[in-house]
Amino acid sequence: MSTKVFISYSWSSPAHEDWVLSLAHRLISDGIDVALDKWDLKEGNDKNSFMESMVQSPQISKVLIILDKKYAEKADLRSGGVGTETQIISPNVYEEVAQEKFIPIVTELDVDGKPYLPTYLKSRIYIDLSMAEHFETGYDKLIRNILNRPSLSKPKLGTPPSYLFEETEVSYKTTFLLRAFDSQIDRQPTRINVLTSNFFSEFFENLKSFKIDYTNPDGSIGKRIYENILQYTPLRDDYIAFLEKLAKSHLEFDIDLLIRFFESLIGLHSPEEAGASYQNYHFINFKFITYELFLYAVAVFLKHERYRYLADILYTSYFEKTRPGYPSESKGYHQYNVVVSEIKDYYNQIKGVVVFNPTADLLITRLPSLIKLADFVDGDLLCYYIGAINEVKWFPQTYLYKEPYNIAFPFFNRLVSVKHFEKIKELLNVSTIDELKVKIADATVKQVANPYRYTNAWEAVTAFNELIDLDKIGTSR
The residue ranges of every structural domain in the chain are 4-147, 163-398, 403-477
pTM of the complete model: 0.67
Q: What angle do CA 310, 312, 316 make, to 5 degrees?
A: 130
> CA 5, CA 426: separation in Å to the nearest integer?
53
Return the ∠ at Cα 295 (arms to 179 and 328), rounded to 5°: 100
pLDDT digits (tens, 9 = 90+) for 53-76: 787 788 888 989 899 888 888 888
pLDDT category, 270, cuts 50, 70, 90?
confident
446 to each of 219, 253, 458, how far by Cα in Å?
44, 37, 18
324-333: average pLDDT: 70
**220-241: per-residue pLDDT in tens?**
899 999 999 999 999 999 999 9
Q: CA-CA distance, 143 to 157, in Å (whole number)?
A: 10
In eight-state DSSP terms, residue 170 is: E
DSSP SS3 for 34 = strand
Query: Which residue from 137, 133, 370 is spatially nearest to 248, judged by alpha carbons?
Result: 370
Does the pLDDT value for residue 85 go beyond 50? yes
> Rounded to whole angstroms, how far apart are CA atoms 127 and 332?
51
Q: What is the pLDDT of residues 377-424, one digit of tens each?
A: 999 999 999 999 999 999 999 999 987 656 788 899 999 999 999 999
Contacts of 88 (CB under 8 A, 6+ apart): 48, 51, 52, 55
Mutual angle of helices 14-29 and 173-187, in 10-degree steps: 90
Contact 64, 8 (CB under 8 A): yes
CA dist., res. 433 & res. 470, Å (int): 10
Distance CA 163, CA 170 (A): 6
- Could you read off the pLDDT of 440-475 as tens digits, one per residue? 999 999 999 998 888 877 888 999 988 899 999 999
Total residue count of the chain as it appears in this document: 477
Comparing C-alpha atoms, which of 19, 12, 118, 102 is closest to residue 56? 102
- pLDDT above 80: residue 170: no
Top CATH class, 4-147: alpha beta
Mean pLDDT of the chain: 85
pLDDT at position 162 is 40
- The answer to whether 351 and 361 are in contact (CB under 8 A) is yes
DSSP state of 455: T
Region 148-161 average pLDDT:
55
